[in-house]
Amino acid sequence: METIFAPWRMEYIKGKKTDECVFCKCLVRCDEHIIYEDKYSFVMMNRYPYISGHLMIIPRRHTGEYSDLLQEERKEIFDLVEIALKALRETMNPAGFNVGMNLGKAAGAGIAEHLHLHVIPRWEGDTNFMSVIGNVRIIPEDVATTAAKLAPLFKKYHQEV
């Protein structure tokens, strides 16, 4: 049997909780995961990705309600979706994407108090028996490596939007 080491997942597995919003906290302390900052929102690599390239677009303002967002906040978030798709296509050449928000615990939001939009690149056959039988995801590229590839493209493509 092959052993797969993923020590960075232990914090997630143990369910380490904090009273402080993880996204608000990351604006101050998670530089290695934030790949782009704009006026109303920022782009962050998911610390616990479903697959390589999984990123999130997060409003700076703390809210769990989409209806609380101002028009300029909504526009910026979806402009960043467009940039994310271009950047991920250029660096990873995915066959497709999952893009979306889980609003509320009942909808599957892991952090329901601060809404965020997921952008997940997908490839044919990117899921396999490991996630079904072994309850394990295999992420072929380190999050920091992916972030280093994507960050300059966000700056490049932001000028085009």
Q: What angle do CA 61, 143, 94 make, to 5 degrees?
A: 95
pLDDT digits 0-9 by tens, 47-91: 888 889 999 999 999 999 999 999 999 999 999 999 999 999 999
| Cα–Cα distance list, 109 to 20, 75, 98 (Å) | 17, 22, 15
In this prediction, residue 110 carries a pLDDT of 85
**What is the extent of the structural domain holding 30?**
12-158
- Residues 6+ away with beta carbon under 8 Å from 24: 62, 114
Residue 58 inside a domain? The answer is yes
Residue 4 inside a domain? The answer is no
Pairwise pLDDT comparison (31 vs 132), residue with the higher score: 31
Residue 6 inside a domain? The answer is no
Residue 5 inside a domain? The answer is no
CATH number at residue 17: 3.30.428.10
Rounded to the nearest 10 degrees, the angle between the axes of helix 143-158 and helix 71-92 is: 120
Residue 7 inside a domain? The answer is no
Q: Count of domains in the chain? A: 1
Residue 78 inside a domain? The answer is yes
Residue 3 inside a domain? The answer is no
Pairwise pLDDT comparison (91 vs 16), residue with the higher score: 91
Region for residue 15 given its phi and psi (left: phi exceeds 0; alpha: psi -120 to 50; beta: otherwise): left
pTM of this prediction?
0.82
Q: Give me the residue label for tokens 């232990």.
A: 10
Residue 1 inside a domain? The answer is no
